[in-house]
Amino acid sequence: MDVIEASNIVKRFGELEAVKGVSFSVKAGEIFGLLGPNGAGKTTTINILCTLLKPTDGQARVNGHDVIKERSQVRQSIGLVFQEPALDDYLTAEQNLRFHGYAYGVPRNVLEPRLKELLEMMELWDRRKGKISTYSGGMKRRLEIARGLLHHPRVLFLDEPTLGLDPQTRRRIWDYIHDLRKRENLAIFMTTHYMDEAENCDRIAIMDYGRTVALDTVEKLKDGVGGDVISIKTEDNEEAVRLLEGQYKFKPSIENGIISFTVSHGEEFLPKFVSGFPIRLISIGLRRPTLEDVFLKLTGRNIREQEVDSMQKLKNMAKMRGH
Amino acid sequence: MAIVFRTIWVIAYRELVRFVADRPRMFSSFSMPLIFLLIFGAGFGRLIGQMMPGVDYIQFMYPGILAMTVLMTSIMSGISIVWDREFGFLKEVLVSPLSRSGVLAGKAIGAAIIAMVQGAIMLVLAPIVNVPITLGKVLALLPLLLILSLSLSGLGLLIGARMRSQQGFQIVMQLVIFPMMFLSGIFFPVSGVATWLEVLSKLNPVTYGIDAIRQVFLGTEVAGVTVFGHTMGIVDSAIVVAMVGAVLLTAAIWVFNRQE
């Protein structure tokens, strides 16, 4: 059964069209990732599914309930971890969870054991009486995941669950997420702009400028790149690119003095290529494609370049405001 | 409907837990009325007292200070919404199945309970500053304080319903709340001042709250606001405060519900 069905969701903010007709469905027990650069419309999409925003057009159902007409049923069946912490700093971890339990109407005889189970799972049981203001970023995120699960939701939404956390904590959060899926059989819907993290998802929708440009399993997306990625450095890169395009019919891209292109059966291609290529090679490498390559192929841009772009935009905006 | 009641109690419960957890806030909400009571009472008391023969200034001012305690705490319920929004907790509330109207009602009731506790502490202080108090007076005061507190929470929540920063709230505090406080007859009688001041005072709902409380202590001789020739009794004033409060709270709920 599909726990999320989104069809042709559109969201406009005045002139700006943040989401331009997005459709997908998510099955129970699946980890579904929305991958894309900052500003691609990921958070807007999540906010629509969570009933925090009304879509301008299109329809979405979560756990069988319409996100516009049956808001409270949708809210009851989802757990949510936001990009920014949404905890009450003045309360203890336990008090934050209890508030959540009362708010979602979790019966008292269920609430206490569930609270203990989740805090133990997230390794926060010993710190349950600590105020949130004394918690580290990673602890807060773990507590929020525990809180999101307290009322037995069917879908857990994670908006950039590991943003701003150190690599070690990020890995631990992922361990919890995998563990959870096994234990609770719930669907996990997450957004991320970390390519390496997206690899943890069963299926991924790649978003760019408010559209989904691809939707498939990680493996299939990588296969779509067309085999293996060969990267070479030569004494005359311009001439090499010309040759690769003309004679070899590849679509090479060049970045930081390194030319990359994809071929099928890279291992067999490599010896032939090295002996036949007329320009002197300085280095050559072969690797399996990453999601980064998938994004590059689909959009013609590098996801990281775009981040720089959006940072630059922010800076320009700040300048215009006179900061 | 059940969800509205659950929302009210959950939100009010959290306001109370938070109030107890936040010691500096607890301390500051008691200290200001105390400081006013001490400084005005001891310092200006004799001086101002000469202008109002027959009434001890501290006896005149004490009901005002009591109302001010309630006013401060109630208005603070508004800043708690801004606080929740600024620190992200509001999202947790908005995405839960709780009713949004209930959220505001819960905040108002939470603030009213806290205000009542503070009012009670002020009442305990009454004999110390030589204000006679009886059980009858206390029983008459509690519903008045409750109505005043709920109404003023409505004002605080209306201001906070859409506001994004605490600084903004502080500015509105200074532009709205302080004038309201000084124009309410806390420190001087509303009658017998310049006409424009008197008109402003009579438009101020806090004036009626304070007047009703003052009437409980001093009777109608000193207190009693005259509106179009009618001298307002305790019940009249309480009705005015309740009606203004109902309008403010409804407006706050409407504004709060409109946000996406």
Which residue, chain included where needed, has tokens 């202008």?
Answer: B51
Q: What is the per-residue pLDDT for B46? A: 63
- Residue A36 in any domain: the answer is yes
Whether A102 and A197 map to the same domain: the answer is: yes
State how far the Cα of B35 lies from the Cα of B6, in Å rounded to an integer.
Answer: 38
In a domain, B140, yes or no: yes
How is residue A10 written in tokens? 């559109």
Domain boundary among the residues A170, A190, A221 is at A221
A209 shares its domain with A141: yes
Considering CB atoms only, which of B10, B18, B94 is closest to A88? B18
CB pairs under 8 A between A and B: 65
Task: Please check whether residue A293 lies inside any domain of the structure.
Answer: no
CATH code of the domain containing A172: 3.40.50.300
pLDDT digits (tens, 9 = 90+) for A172-207: 888 888 888 888 778 999 988 888 788 889 999 998
- What is the 8-class DSSP label of residue A283? E
For residue B102, what is the nearest residue in chain A, using CA coordinates? A103
Q: Which residue of B has its CA nearest to A147?
A: B92
The answer to whether B199 faces chain A, any CB pair under 8 Å, is: no
Measured between CA atoms, how close is B42 to chain A, in angstroms? 37
Written as tens digits, the pLDDT of chain B (260 aa) is 788 999 999 999 998 888 888 788 778 777 776 777 777 667 666 666 555 666 677 778 888 888 888 888 888 778 889 988 888 899 899 889 999 889 999 999 999 998 888 888 888 878 877 788 888 888 888 999 999 999 999 999 999 988 888 888 888 878 888 888 888 888 777 767 788 888 888 888 888 888 888 888 887 666 667 776 677 788 888 999 999 999 999 999 999 988 65
**Per-residue pLDDT band at A314 (split at 50, 70, 90):** low
Structure tokens given for A300: 């013609």
Structure confidence at residue A322 as a pLDDT band (50, 70, 90): very low
| Mean of pLDDT values over A31-53 | 89
Give the least confident one: A37-46, A280-289, B50-59, B236-245: B50-59
Distances B126 to A32, B119, B185, B204, B223 between C-alpha atoms, Å:
64, 11, 19, 26, 19
Q: How far is B160 from chain A, CA to nearest CA, in Å?
A: 18
- Number of domains into which chain B is organized: 1
Whether A233 and A91 share a structural domain: no
Question: Parallel, antiparallel, or unpaired: how do β-strands A31-35 and A203-208 relate?
Answer: parallel
B20 touching chain A per CB within 8 A: no
Q: Give me the pLDDT at residue A318, please.
A: 54
Residues A168 and A255 in one domain: no
Reported as a single tens digit per residue, the pLDDT across A223-278 is 887 788 888 999 888 888 888 888 888 888 888 888 888 888 888 888 888 888 88
Domain for residue A212, yes or no? yes
Q: Please name the residue that has the structure tokens 């401060």.
A: B72
Domain match, A153 and A259 both = no
Tell me the backbone φ, ψ of residue B146, rounded to 5 degrees.
-65, -45
**Whether residue A16 sits in one domain with residue A60:** yes
- A323, pLDDT greater than 60: no
Q: Which residues of B touch A86 (CB under 8 A)?
A: 88-92
- The CATH number assigned to the domain holding A232 equals 3.30.70
In a domain, A49, yes or no: yes
Tell me, what's the pLDDT at B234?
Answer: 84
Residue A211 maps to a domain: yes
Q: Are residues A257 and A211 in the same domain?
A: no
ipTM over 0.90: no
- Under 8 Å between Cβ of A14 and A173: no
Give the count of domains, chain A: 2
What does the pLDDT look like over A118-134, one tens digit per residue? 898 888 999 999 999 89
What gap in Å lies between CA B85 and CA A47, rounded to an integer?
16
Any domain includes A85: yes
Domain annotation covers residue A295 = no
B81: tokens are 């919404």
- Contacts B6 to A, Cβ<8 Å: 102, 105
> What is the spatial distance between Cα A257 and Cα A235, in angstroms, rounded to a whole number?
10
Same domain, A76 and A101: yes
How many angstroms away from the CA of A86 is the closest CA of chain B? 4
Residue-range definition of the domain harbouring residue A238: 226-288
CB within 8 Å of chain A, chain B residues 69-108: 84, 87-98
Query: How is residue A188 written in tokens?
Result: 């996990």
Q: According to the 3-state scheme, what is the secondary structure of chain B?
A: CHHHHHHHHHHHHHHHHHHHHCHHHHHHHHHHHHHHHHHHHHHHHHHHHCCCCCCCHHHHHHHHHHHHHHHHHHHHHHHHHHHHHHCCHHHHHHCCCCCHHHHHHHHHHHHHHHHHHHHHHHHHHHHHHCCCCCHHHHHHHHHHHHHHHHHHHHHHHHHHCCCCCHHHHHHHHHHHHHHHHHCCCCCCCCCCCCHHHHHHHHHCHHHHHHHHHHHHHHCCCCCCCEECCEECCHHHHHHHHHHHHHHHHHHHHHHHHHCC
Q: Does the pLDDT value for residue A317 go beyond 70?
A: no
Report percent pLDDT > 70 for chain A.
93
Domain of B104, in residue numbers: 2-182+245-258
**Judgement on whether residues A283 and A184 belong to the same structural domain of the protein:** no
Is there a domain that residue A323 lies in? no
Residues of A in contact with B14 (CB under 8 A): 88, 91, 99
Are residues A261 and A156 part of one domain? Answer: no
One domain, residues A138 and A284: no
Minimal Cα distance from B4: which residue of A? A103
> What type of residue sits at position A66?
D
Of chain A, the percentage scoring pLDDT greater than 90 comes to 33
Residue A148 and residue A238 in one domain: no
Q: Cβ(B210)–Cβ(B180) under 8 Å?
A: no
